Amino acid sequence: MKALNFSFQIFIVIVCVLISTTISLAQQKVNILIVYYSSTGNTQQMANGVSEGIQRDSNATATLKKVDEVTSDDLAAADGIVLGCPTYWGTIANPMKSFLDINGFWESKVGGAFSTGAMRAGGKEHVVVSLLLALMMKGVIVVGPVYDFGAFQSGALGATAMTGPPDDGVSESELDDARALGERVAKIAGRLK
């Protein structure tokens, strides 16, 4: 009888350990790092939008860093990395390109990209695609926002903002795209963690 009692106690302890491990794993937050370059503030506004989208997910935290402030510890601690950059001469601005060139492999993190540009067809999407390709080359699993328009659903490459005339600055709907990007990266990173 004593032996049975002891076995039962051991069983209860094991069950408690299993439950608390499961709870603590479920509570582990995903950390999404947003790395951006911005000279006049437009891309920074989009980065703030991405951060808001990440924080819609109660299981995620967002860390915002300018491209020249990122440390190797920031990169190592991130479950996801979102890159944002203005369009310069149809392509990635130099500070972001240098950042990509000096930092190595980020295998199995989740990533996304956003950009701004002052011209209507001035290369914003090209910048997003170039950032996504760089992320892929670094072993990152890339995702973009998804939209449900009722009549149809669609994904997008990332988020962009047209910042020149006739649509100066970053609009609320462009910020919403940035939020949708952040939300999706957080969601997928959480699923994979």
Nearest approach in angstroms of CB 174 to ligand FMN is: 11
**How far is CA 101 from its chain centroid?**
20
Among residues 20, 22, 28, 39, the one that binds ligand FMN under rule CB under 6 A: 39
Candidate ranges 9-17, 32-40, 106-114, 185-193; the one touching ligand FMN (CB under 6 A): 32-40
Cβ–Cβ < 8 Å for 170, 42: yes
What's the CA gap between 36 and 51, in Å, rounded?
12
Residues touching ligand FMN, count (CB under 6 A): 20
For the chain, the first-to-last Cα distance in angstroms comes to: 44
Assess whether the previous peptide bond of 166 is cis (omega < 30° from 0).
Answer: yes
Give the H/E segment covering residue 54. Answer: helix 42-55
Candidate ranges 8-16, 121-129, 152-160, 180-188; the one touching ligand FMN (CB under 6 A): 121-129
Among residues 33, 60, 79, 88, the one that binds ligand FMN under rule CB under 6 A: 88
Q: Which backbone phi and psi does 36 adopt, to 5 degrees?
A: -140, 155
| Interaction between residue 99 and ligand FMN (CB under 6 A) | no
User: Which structure tokens are listed for 142?
Assistant: 């890339």
Among residues 80, 95, 122, 190, the one that binds ligand FMN under rule CB under 6 A: 122
| Interaction between residue 90 and ligand FMN (CB under 6 A) | yes
| Interaction between residue 123 and ligand FMN (CB under 6 A) | yes
Residues that bind ligand FMN (CB under 6 A): 38-44, 86-90, 116-119, 122-124, 163
